[in-house]
Amino acid sequence: MPIPFTNPPIYPPVAPGKYAATIQRASADYADRPGGAEDVSKCRAAILGLADDTGVIMNHGRPGAREGPHAFRAALVRFGVAQPAPWTPRAERRADTNAGHHAEHTLPHILDAGDIVPGRTLEETHDRVTAATEAIIALGLLPIGIGGGHDLTFAFARAACRRSGVRAGLYVDAHLDVRAEPGSGMPFRSLVQHAGVAALSVVGLSPLVNARDHHDWFTDHGGERLDVAFSIEQAQRQIESTASRATTGPGAPAPSAFVSLDLDAIDAAQMPGVSALNPDGLTVAQVAQYAHAAGRCPLVACFDIMELNPMHDTDHRSARVAAYLFLRFIAGLGERARTNR
């Protein structure tokens, strides 16, 4: 089935041996091409470009995140992936070899569904994002959002709430993003109020850039601020704990969660290309632990990387970090597939 409200993805030339050469690319006639359905059946996840920054502009942030998906793809084509990955424990590599398996962890096949075509209003754009994400889920694929204003996480995760029973989320962000007014600072309040999310956890919060009433609302609605994990395993436990908080009581649904990475959680020295600079943020390595954990955690039903703003990037540094975080998620997803988790 075609993905509604999208334009096909555009990549620069991709050299053989690069990971981007393995990505299936949707086109306007994708579902009607011979072998199109078969190609999708080989995929485990799908990229959806959330190419809009209307919410950022409404919040008086720096415009430009609408170009985030384009910059992400331009950076992604530069990555080749050597295996086994350096973060794979040696004992695990030996166990694979002793069992007669390849020590290399094959990365899963991915579909790129293209970019959202924004609507005439922010609400219409949100509805289009939700419809496109629901279509991806209907294909049996895990949606991966690349954006774009962080308000789009509301529309993106709302689809997983409706289709996959998601009731919890962990996000890495300098801001709580629980404003009452429309704009890029509202996604997590809206997910609680309008999508049934019952448990939230935030990592990387900067107390100096969050209003007291936002913090009060967050804690009053069961939100938890977490310390930064020191390993992939601890990050995964934090995701699992967040999901379990939303599933207490008899008849509760099975735990599941979304994970959202706002690039402004990363220190500005490593991440200049964002809508809101962070002078005292996390390192790329710290955030990468959450990307990898989200990929391999079986409870994660959707994942996004948001607020990439190439208009303010330096030497494509931020776009390359976003592409790297995506690949860490994909590496984790490959581990999830291998262990049937």
What percentage of the chain has pLDDT greater than the value 90? 77
Residue 35: count of CB within 10 angstroms of its CB: 8
Look at residue 251 in the predicted model and tell me its pLDDT: 63
Confidence (pTM): 0.91
**Which of 230, 146, 151, 161 has its CA nearest to residue 199?**
161
Q: How far apart are CA 260 and CA 242, in angstroms?
A: 13
Q: Which domains does the chain have, with CATH numbers?
A: 6-97+104-338 (3.40.800.10)
pLDDT at residue 339, rounded to an integer:
43
Work out the burial of residue 75: count CB atoms within 10 Å of its CB; fewer than 13 is exposed, 13-18 middle, 19 or more buried.
buried
In this prediction, residues 75-82 reach a mean pLDDT of 88
pLDDT at 170 over 90: yes
Kindly tell me if the per-residue pLDDT of 82 is higher than 70.
no
Residue 64 has pLDDT above 90, yes or no: yes
Q: Are 173 and 199 in contact (CB under 8 A)?
A: no
Whether 171 and 303 have beta carbons less than 8 Å apart is answered as no
> What is the distance between the alpha carbons of residues 127 and 156, in angstroms, rounded to a whole number?
9
Task: Look at residue 99 and tell me whether its pLDDT is greater than 50.
Answer: no
Beta strands 6-7; 109-116: pairing state: antiparallel
Q: What is the mean pLDDT of residues 92-117?
A: 69
Per-residue pLDDT tens digits for 197-253:
999 999 999 989 898 999 999 999 999 999 999 999 999 999 999 999 998 666 667
CA distance linking residue 16 with residue 10, whole number of Å: 17
Question: What average pLDDT does the segment 131-157 reach?
Answer: 97
Q: What is the pLDDT of residue 102?
A: 44
Choice between 339 and 187, residue whose per-residue pLDDT is larger: 187
Helix axis angle for 187-195 and 152-164, nearest 10°, is 30
